C-alpha cells in the first residue's frame, strides 16, 4: 500500500481519484506542528500541500520513501524545490486550476480599493452612515500596471479592459507583438511603475522578484497611485509600502498575501487605506476542486509509474512529444547502464548523439534517462529522472547532447559516449521496427545485441581459438550461451566478444575468463 499524506485542507471531491485508488492509502492530517509533520512523513511516498505547510529539506530527510510532493495550487515557495531535486523527489503543482478565481479576486480587490467598499461596510456595520468619507474613483480611463503577465496577469488584463481601463504590462517574456495581440501596452518595469494609477503584481515569489516593488520603485509611481498584491507577500516590500501609505504617496493598497502568514497582527492592517483578505485568491469551490483534482491525478499517475502533467522540477513534455519519446526510454537507460559497466576510470564527460527520426525531437528527456542509467552504477537508486543532471553537475561531470546526421543506415540511432580520465568508450543503439531494441555498435565494433539479461563483454586480441576457449570455459561452469557476437578491427588486431548467457556470471568464472591468453578485459553485466 502506498501512503499519500495530505497536510492542508483540500476539496474532498478533488482528491476522489486518490481516495478511490485501491493501492493507495490517503491520510488527511492537517494543522500539524512541525514535530508532528516530521513523524507523519516517515513512511509516505507522496505529500500534498496548499500554501500553509512548509516542506523543507528537513521534512524530506524524515521521509525516506518520498517520491513526490504535490502543491494544490501555483506558488511553490513553501516547498524547498532545490532540496527536492537533490533528493530525487519530483514536485508537481496545479498551475491552471485557480487562475480564474485569483484573477476574479484581484478584480474584487481592485473595485473595493477604488470604491472603499470594505471600509464603508465596516462603518455601516457599526451603525455609521458615512457618505462623504468614502468618495471613490472610477476605473474607466485609469491605467492598470501589471507586473507579471502570466496566466493570472493576462486574465486580470482582460477583465480590466472590460472596465475600459488602459493596461500596461511588464514581463520578461512579453514583447510588443504579443502585447498588441491582447490589446495591452508592453512596457519596462519603470514605464509600468510611472504609468500606473493602479499597480498589481502577478509574478511568482523568487529571488528576482523579492522586494521587486521597493522604496525606489514606489518613488517612481504617481502620487496617489494604488497598489495590489494578490500574488505573494514579499514581492512588495512591506516596510516601503507602509512608509508610502503613511506619507500619502500611495493612496491605498489591497493585499491578499503577506510576507508572513497568518498576518493578523500586521502593522499595515492598522491603516484605513489598506484593505486585506487572508490569502483568499484561490479560495473558491471551483478552484479548490480543480487544483485538488489536477494534483491528485498527477500523483496517482506518478505512483503508478507514469509521467506527470505539471512537473515543477522537470521540464514538462507535451503528450504528443511523449508519444514519440516513450519507446526510447528503456533503450536510453540500457545504453547508459551498459556503457557505465564496461568503462574504466573517473567519469568526466557524457555525450549523447541522436540521429534519424530523433533529429526533430526534443531529446533532453532521453539524455536525462541515459545519464541516470550511467550514474546508477555509482550512486544506486538515489539517482532518478529528477536529479540525474543535478547529480552529474554536482560531481563535475559535463553533459553534452548533439544531433547528428550520421544514421549508419538505421532509421533512428542513439549513441552514448563516456569520457573518463582513462579512456573514451561509446555505444550505439536503435529501435528496429518490430524487433525491439538493439545495441548496434560498441566502440568501433559493429554488433547486434539485445540489451537485456546477463551479458559478458570481452576485449581480446583476434587469435584462432579464442572463441573456442571462452565457449569451453563457460560450458565447464554449466553456463549456456544464448547469443554471441564478435567484432574486430583487423585480422589479428583488437576484438570484442559480447555474449548473452542464461544466468548471472559468478566471480570465479569471470576470473578464469580473464585468465585466458589473449583476453584483456572481461566485464559481466545484468541489464
Ligand X SMILES: O=C(O)CCC(=O)C(=O)O
Ligand Y SMILES: NC(=O)C1=CN([C@@H]2O[C@H](COP(=O)(O)OP(=O)(O)OC[C@H]3O[C@@H](n4cnc5c(N)ncnc54)[C@H](O)[C@@H]3O)[C@@H](O)[C@H]2O)C=CC1
Active-site positions read 232, 261, 279
148 binds, among ligand Y, ligand X, none (CB under 5 to 8 A by kind): ligand Y
C-alpha cell at 176: 510588443
Using the rule CB under 6 A, which residue among 8, 197, 256, 289 binds ligand Y?
256
Q: By CB under 6 A, is residue 145 in contact with ligand Y?
A: no
Q: By CB under 6 A, is residue 232 in contact with ligand Y?
A: yes
Distances (CA, A) of 233 to 166, 167, 209: 26, 23, 11
Please identify, among the stretches 10-18, 68-76, 344-352, 397-405, the one whose residues bind ligand Y according to the rule CB under 6 A. Answer: 68-76
453 binds, among ligand X, ligand Y, none (CB under 5 to 8 A by kind): none
* DSSP-assigned letters across all residues of 452-500: -SEEEEEEEE--TTHHHHHHHHHHHTT--EEEEEEEESSTTSEEEEEEE
**How would you classify the pairing of strands 68-71 and 46-49?**
parallel
Using the rule CB under 6 A, which residue among 93, 112, 203, 334 binds ligand Y?
203
Q: By CB under 6 A, is residue 129 in contact with ligand Y?
A: no
The residue (of 207 and 381) whose beta carbon lies closer to ligand X is: 207
Question: Is there a contact between 55 and 73 (Cβ–Cβ < 8 Å)?
Answer: no
Q: By CB under 6 A, is residue 417 in contact with ligand Y?
A: no
The residue (of 77 and 401) whose beta carbon lies closer to ligand X is: 77
Q: By CB under 6 A, is residue 237 in contact with ligand Y?
A: no
Q: From 264, 274, 266, 200, select the one nearest 244 (Cα to Cα).
A: 274
Length of the chain equals 527
Work out how close the CB of 156 gets to ligand Y at its nearest, in angstroms, rounded to a whole number.
9
φ, ψ of residue 199 to 5 degrees: the values are -120, 125
Work out how close the CB of 185 gets to ligand Y at its nearest, in angstroms, rounded to a whole number.
15
Work out how close the CB of 145 gets to ligand Y at its nearest, in angstroms, rounded to a whole number.
11
Residue numbers 424-463 binding ligand Y by CB under 6 A: none
Give the number of other CB atoms < 10 A from CB of residue 391: 21
Residues 6+ apart with CB under 8 A from 177: none
Residue numbers 262-281 binding ligand Y by CB under 6 A: 279, 281
Q: By CB under 6 A, is residue 391 in contact with ligand Y?
A: no
Cell 527536492 locates to: 84
Q: From 107, 124, 123, select the one nearest 272 (Cα to Cα).
A: 123
> Cα 215–153–221 angle (5° rounding)?
25
Q: By CB under 6 A, is residue 202 in contact with ligand Y?
A: yes
φ, ψ of residue 70 to 5 degrees: the values are -105, 130
Question: Is there a contact between 213 and 257 (Cβ–Cβ < 8 Å)?
Answer: no
Please identify, among the stretches 171-179, 243-251, 412-420, 517-525, the one whose residues bind ligand Y according to the rule CB under 6 A. Answer: 171-179
198 binds, among ligand X, ligand Y, none (CB under 5 to 8 A by kind): none
95 binds, among ligand X, ligand Y, none (CB under 5 to 8 A by kind): ligand Y
Work out how close the CB of 315 gets to ligand X at its nearest, in angstroms, rounded to a whole number.
20
Please identify, among the stretches 11-19, 72-80, 133-141, 418-426, the one whose residues bind ligand Y according to the rule CB under 6 A. Answer: 72-80
The residue (of 98 and 363) whose beta carbon lies closer to ligand Y is: 98
The residue (of 2 and 50) whose beta carbon lies closer to ligand X is: 50
508 binds, among ligand Y, ligand X, none (CB under 5 to 8 A by kind): none
Using the rule CB under 6 A, which residue among 64, 172, 262, 267 binds ligand Y?
172
**CA pair distance 10, 14, nearest whole angstrom:** 7
Q: By CB under 6 A, is residue 151 in contact with ligand Y?
A: yes
50 binds, among ligand X, ligand Y, none (CB under 5 to 8 A by kind): ligand X
Name the burial class of residue 118, with classes exposed (0-12), middle (13-18) and buried (19+) by CB atoms within 10 angstroms of its CB.
middle
Work out how close the CB of 282 gets to ligand X at its nearest, in angstroms, rounded to a whole number.
4
Instruction: Give the count of alpha carbons within 13 A of 384, CB side only.
Output: 16
230 binds, among ligand X, ligand Y, none (CB under 5 to 8 A by kind): ligand Y
By the criterion CB under 6 A, which residues form the site for ligand X? Answer: 50-51, 73-75, 98, 279, 281-283
Q: From 283, 237, 284, select the one nearest 258 (Cα to Cα).
A: 237
Work out how close the CB of 311 gets to ligand X at its nearest, in angstroms, rounded to a whole number.
16
The residue (of 70 and 365) whose beta carbon lies closer to ligand X is: 70
Q: By CB under 6 A, is residue 204 in contact with ligand Y?
A: yes
Q: Which residue is nearest to ligand Y (CB)?
A: 150
Angle, in degrees to the nearest 10, between helices 117-125 and 99-115: 70
* Total of residues contacting ligand Y (CB under 6 A): 33
Question: Is there a contact between 458 and 496 (Cβ–Cβ < 8 Å)?
Answer: yes
Instruction: Give the count of alpha carbons within 13 A of 407, CB side only.
Output: 11
Work out how close the CB of 3 gets to ligand X at its nearest, in angstroms, rounded to a whole number.
22
Q: By CB under 6 A, is residue 152 in contact with ligand Y?
A: yes
Q: Which residue is nearest to ligand X (CB)?
A: 73
Work out how close the CB of 51 gets to ligand X at its nearest, in angstroms, rounded to a whole number.
4
Give the number of other CB atoms < 10 A from CB of residue 526: 12
The residue (of 217 and 524) whose beta carbon lies closer to ligand Y is: 217
Instruction: Give the count of alpha carbons within 13 A of 299, CB side only.
Output: 38
Q: By CB under 6 A, is residue 95 in contact with ligand Y?
A: yes
Work out how close the CB of 116 gets to ligand Y at its nearest, in angstroms, rounded to a whole number.
22
Instruction: Give the count of alpha carbons within 13 A of 270, CB side only.
Output: 6
Query: The dihedral of CA 79, 317, 355, 454: what is its sign?
Result: positive
Work out how close the CB of 176 gets to ligand Y at its nearest, in angstroms, rounded to a whole number.
16
DSSP code, position 504: P
Q: Which residues bind ligand Y (CB under 6 A)?
A: 73-75, 95, 98-99, 102, 147-153, 170-173, 202-205, 208-209, 212, 230-232, 256-257, 279, 281-282
Amino acid at each position: 500500500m502506498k501512503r499519500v499524506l495530505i497536510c492542508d485542507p483540500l476539496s474532498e471531491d478533488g482528491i476522489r481519484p486518490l481516495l478511490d485508488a485501491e493501492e493507495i492509502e490517503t491520510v488527511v492530517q492537517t494543522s500539524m506542528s512541525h514535530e508532528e509533520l516530521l513523524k507523519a512523513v516517515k513512511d509516505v511516498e507522496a505529500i500534498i500541500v496548499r500554501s500553509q505547510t512548509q516542506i523543507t529539506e528537513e521534512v524530506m530527510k524524515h521521509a525516506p520513501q518520498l517520491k513526490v510532493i504535490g502543491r494544490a495550487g501555483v506558488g511553490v515557495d513553501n516547498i524547498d524545490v532545490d532540496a527536492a531535486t537533490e533528493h530525487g523527489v519530483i514536485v508537481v503543482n496545479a498551475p491552471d486550476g485557480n487562475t480564474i478565481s485569483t484573477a476574479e479576486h484581484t478584480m474584487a480587490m481592485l473595485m473595493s480599493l477604488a470604491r472603499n467598499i470594505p471600509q464603508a461596510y465596516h462603518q455601516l456595520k457599526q451603525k455609521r452612515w458615512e457618505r462623504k468619507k468614502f468618495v471613490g474613483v472610477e476605473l474607466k480611463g485609469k491605467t492598470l500596471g501589471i507586473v507579471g503577465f502570466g496566466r493570472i496577469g493576462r486574465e486580470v488584463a482582460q477583465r480590466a479592459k472590460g472596465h475600459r481601463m488602459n493596461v500596461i504590462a511588464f514581463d520578461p517574456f512579453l514583447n510588443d507583438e504579443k502585447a498588441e495581440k491582447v490589446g495591452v501596452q508592453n512596457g519596462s518595469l519603470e514605464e509600468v511603475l510611472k504609468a500606473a494609477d493602479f499597480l498589481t503584481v502577478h509574478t511568482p515569489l523568487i529571488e528576482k522578484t523579492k522586494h521587486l516593488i521597493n522604496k525606489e520603485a514606489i518613488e517612481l509611481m504617481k502620487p496617489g497611485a494604488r497598489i495590489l498584491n494578490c500574488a505573494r507577500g514579499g514581492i512588495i516590500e512591506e516596510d516601503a509600502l507602509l512608509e508610502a501609505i503613511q506619507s500619502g504617496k500611495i493612496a491605498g493598497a489591497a493585499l491578499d498575501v503577506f510576507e508572513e502568514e497568518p498576518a493578523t497582527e500586521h502593522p499595515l492592517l492598522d491603516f484605513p487605506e489598506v484593505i486585506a483578505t487572508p490569502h483568499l485568491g484561490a479560495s473558491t469551490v471551483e478552484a479548490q476542486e480543480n487544483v485538488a483534482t489536477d494534483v491528485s491525478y498527477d500523483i496517482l499517475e506518478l505512483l503508478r509509474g507514469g509521467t506527470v502533467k505539471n512537473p515543477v522540477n522537470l521540464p514538462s513534455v507535451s503528450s504528443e512529444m511523449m508519444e514519440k519519446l516513450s519507446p526510447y526510454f528503456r533503450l536510453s537507460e540500457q545504453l547508459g547502464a551498459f556503457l557505465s559497466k564496461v568503462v574504466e576510470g573517473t567519469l568526466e564527460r557524457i555525450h549523447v548523439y541522436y540521429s534519424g527520426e530523433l533529429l526533430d525531437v526534443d531529446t533532453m528527456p532521453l539524455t536525462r534517462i541515459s545519464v541516470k542509467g550511467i550514474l546508477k552504477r555509482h550512486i544506486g537508486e538515489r539517482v532518478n529522472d529528477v536529479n540525474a543532471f543535478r547529480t552529474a553537475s554536482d560531481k563535475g561531470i559535463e553533459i553534452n547532447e548533439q544531433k547528428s546526421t550520421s544514421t549508419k543506415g538505421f532509421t533512428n540511432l542513439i549513441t552514448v559516449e563516456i569520457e573518463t580520465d582513462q579512456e573514451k568508450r561509446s555505444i550505439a543503439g536503435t529501435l528496429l521496427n518490430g524487433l525491439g531494441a538493439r545495441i548496434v555498435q560498441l566502440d568501433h565494433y559493429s554488433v547486434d545485441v539485445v540489451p537485456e539479461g546477463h551479458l559478458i563483454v570481452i576485449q581480446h586480441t583476434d587469435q584462432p581459438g579464442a572463441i573456442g576457449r571462452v565457449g569451453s570455459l563457460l560450458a565447464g561452469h554449466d553456463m549456456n550461451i544464448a547469443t554471441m557476437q564478435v567484432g574486430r578491427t583487423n585480422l589479428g588486431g583488437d576484438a570484442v566478444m559480447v555474449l548473452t548467457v542464461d544466468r548471472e556470471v559468478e566471480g570465479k568464472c569471470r576470473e578464469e575468463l580473464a585468465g585466458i591468453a589473449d583476453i584483456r578485459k572481461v566485464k559481466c553485466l545484468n541489464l
